[in-house]
Structure 1
Amino acid sequence: RTYAQLWYFHIPFFILNVVIYEWFRQLAFDDPGYIEPTRTDMLRMVEDMKNGASLDRYCPTCWIHKPYRSKHCKHCNRCVIKMDHHCPFTGNCVGANNLRLFYIAHGGYVIAEL
């Protein structure tokens, strides 16, 4: 068979690439689980500082009480819930809100390479 006769192989490949592009867009621009600072967190941190309490669970940059497994990203300058890492390809963090999509997108990349 000639290359022109195998046109039907291009359709699933094209669809998969469009889907992967959308996943990449979501990973790059959607919220990975940023923690928004609240006035209550800031006031509680100031009170704990006055009382000499441990500040291990506070982020000194964001002035928030950090939930379990959250970390401050030095690239985004924000705290992220269940942060996995900062992805240099998307320019965004991988956290609680987009970790599953990150794994799905990588699976799609592997399938597209086959």
Structure 2
Amino acid sequence: MKCERFLSVSILAVFLLMGFVYYTTVFIFIEDWVGLQSSAGSLNALIFTFLVSLCLFSFFVCVLTDPGPVPASYIPDVEESGVADEERRKNSIQSRHCDKCSTYKPPRAHHCRVCRRCVLRMDHHCIWINNCVGYRNYKAFFTLVLYATLGSIYSTVMIVTCALRKDWAFNETASLKIFFVTSAVMMAALSLTLGTLLGWHIYLIIHNMTTIEYYEGIRAAWLARKSGQSYWHPYNLGAYKNITSVLGPNILKWLCPTAMSHLKDGLIFPTRRENS
């Protein structure tokens, strides 16, 4: 059952963090700054609630969406070639065989030791969604990181603004000051962490890579340099095509985590040579 994925300590931690950030930002900092009854307070609370709602929706999509199982009937389609290419053909088929699953795996698919199965276009296994990030939920994961980053930055701005405009009297308790400082530092650190993660996945999307392929590419480039050759990521089709292959051709649906009609079976991906 997909709902069983929510029975996880990491999932509970995410819910608790989101609840804490939302409550403190809206009902403590915005309320203390301008008041929720004012137009400025209501507007800020509405904007932040909208960001948190989008983040929560993307989170549910990430958790509940199967990243993409490899069909049990899948067999690699390797074209028959001449005798000179026979050894390379055998090596290609062997490299696509998963010894742990005892089945063949398509290009860009990898075996997840946590999920104990091969996942299409696997990026990584994420403990915070208790699920793999793969072909069918990568877009939802990206929008989750995007909305979480925007929400964290927004919360940080609210906390800092509230602290700067607050009239700190001499009789203010030390615990209140500690709470403000701790909250500001925590949200700034969270914003930096999520922002770094967002920048990393923007880079991967632009180059049509997964995290696994990036590190595989480092080794492949090193081996290519040793033999006096150059390495090119085979699935890099250009920035625009790379982006649309993940987010979809309709720019108006790029930030909708459930707009995935552009995804196919995830077994075949166009390469540079095919599009040159």
TM-score by length of 2: 0.35
Structure-2 residue corresponding to 1:67: 106
Q: Aligned partners of 1:79 and 1:26: how far apart in 2?
A: 20
Structure 1 position 58 matched with structure 2 position 58: no
How many pairs align? 102
Q: Which amino acid is 1:69 matched to? A: R
Deviation at residue 98 of structure 1 after TM alignment: 1.6
Q: Which runs of 5 or more residues in structure 2 are unaligned?
A: 1-32, 76-89, 154-276
Which deviations, in whole Å up to 9, do the C-alpha atoms of 1:47-98 show, x marking residues without a partner? xxxxxx6532111222221111110001001101111100010011111112
Structure-2 residue corresponding to 1:44: none
Q: Structure 2 residue aligned with 1:93, among 123, 128, 132?
A: 132
Task: Please identify runs of 4+ aligned residues in structure 1 that moved more than 2 A.
Answer: 53-56
Q: Which amino acid is 1:3 matched to? A: G
More relative contact order, 1 or 2 (CA 8 Å, 6+ apart): 1
TM-score by length of 1: 0.78
From the two aligned structures, give the one with the greater helix fraction: 2
Q: Which amino acid is 2:124 matched to? A: H
Deviation at residue 14 of structure 1 after TM alignment: 1.1
Q: Aligned partners of 1:109 and 1:2: how far apart in 2?
A: 24
Q: Which runs of 5 or more residues in structure 1 are unaligned?
A: 42-52
Same amino acid, percent of matched pairs? 28
From the two aligned structures, give the one with the greater strand fraction: 1
Structure-2 residue corresponding to 1:12: 47
Question: Once superposed, what is the RMSD of the aligned Cα atoms?
Answer: 1.8
